[in-house]
Amino acid sequence: MLDFKNWDSFLYFFSASSSQSFLKKCYKLRSTDLAEQKSYENCYPFIYYLEHGQIYYNQAKNAPLIIQPILLFYGLVHLIKACILTIDPNYPESTTVLAHGVSTRKRKKQQYHFFLDEVKIQKSGLLPYMGEKMFHMKHLEGEKITMQELLSQIPELSLMFSQTKGKNTFLQIKRNDDLLSLPKIILDHYHMTESRFTDFLKTDMADLIILQESNDQFINFSLNTLDNVEFLPFKYNLENLEINFPTTKSVLNNYPELLIHYLLLYNLSMISRYETEWWSELIKMMPNQDYPFIQSFLNITSKKGPFLIYQFLKGKLS
């Protein structure tokens, strides 16, 4: 998981022959009809999605903060479309999958608080399509999620939550070779006995987690594989290069982090386009805690978005 070198890691795909061979393998694994023909047809669209995504991210790096969310959002959208093309050789089959798949209130209320702002997942569009095709998630329609709930799902923001709210949103997992150790303070956060908590883990991760003998301080376990970066509800922290575990029980703990980044960037891009006065005042005046969280998230997602996309594609290479 540590072999990611930013955009250089994608260079393998920037070749028609490599991408055609990669897509052919993906399609054959899914028993797709005409796998070879479809891989030839899609190798250039696949490359162009990645290339467009890279350009958006590179432009965001040099752009003023005021337009960064728009560039990062559309950069992520293009990278996601490349991922979907590895699963659905006929993408996009209809215009319904081209919508964003999420909505937010266009005009914000007076006394607007970013943390309390909500997004709502729609029946059709890129987000539910991505959820179903890439992560086998269905029935997301109608879910309303606040910005605070989404931000608390970003492990790299745990320190910011600790500094501003007095509470870590993630605990770091200690690693000793293949043995992973979760501090037992997690039991206080989840209001569970150790037995109840281990049952909870086994229910969600029966095929993956192997519980070991615990001690006074840690619940010890191992995983069947460490090749992936996301063993929900565990999440990978790109800053400290460690696996983290959320301190609050939430349905969002089982949302892949790519969906979390998409939802946050969608709303921030809408705000930067349509809430010009609030957005400009936030950036110029920095009146509250919204600014450091938003700035930190944008810094994180500029690196983590491509990282998560690469991990998804890498999983199909092995």
Q: Give the global pTM.
A: 0.94
pLDDT in tens, 83-107: 999 999 999 988 889 899 999 976 6
Q: Counting beta carbons within 10 angstroms of the beta carbon of residue 191, is it exposed (0 to 12), middle (13 to 18) or buried (19 or more)?
A: exposed
- Whether the pLDDT of residue 139 is over 80: the answer is yes
pLDDT of residue 75: 98
Three-class secondary structure of residue 63 per DSSP: coil
CA 183 to chain CA mean position, Å: 25
Per-residue pLDDT band at 110 (split at 50, 70, 90): low
Residue bearing the bigger pLDDT, 65 or 113? 65
pLDDT in tens, 151-199: 999 999 999 999 999 999 999 999 888 888 999 999 999 999 999 998 8
Considering only CA atoms, which of 82, 58, 78, 77 is closest in space to residue 68? 58
Residue 117 tokens, joined: 């702002």
Per-residue pLDDT band at 311 (split at 50, 70, 90): very high
pLDDT in tens, 160-172: 999 999 999 999 9
Considering only CA atoms, which of 164, 132, 166 is closest in space to residue 288? 164
Three-class secondary structure of residue 64 per DSSP: coil
Mean pLDDT score of the chain: 91
Residue 121 tokens, joined: 């997942």
Give the C-alpha separation, 160 to 137, whole Å.
Answer: 30
pLDDT in tens, 22-41: 999 999 999 888 999 999 99
- Whether the pLDDT of residue 4 is over 70: the answer is no
Considering only CA atoms, which of 22, 13, 92 is closest in space to residue 51? 13
- Whether the pLDDT of residue 3 is over 60: the answer is no
Q: Among residues of the chain, what percentage have pLDDT more than 90?
A: 71
Q: Contact 78/71 with Cβ under 8 angstroms?
A: no
Which helix H or strand E contains 171, and what residues bound it?
Answer: strand 170-172
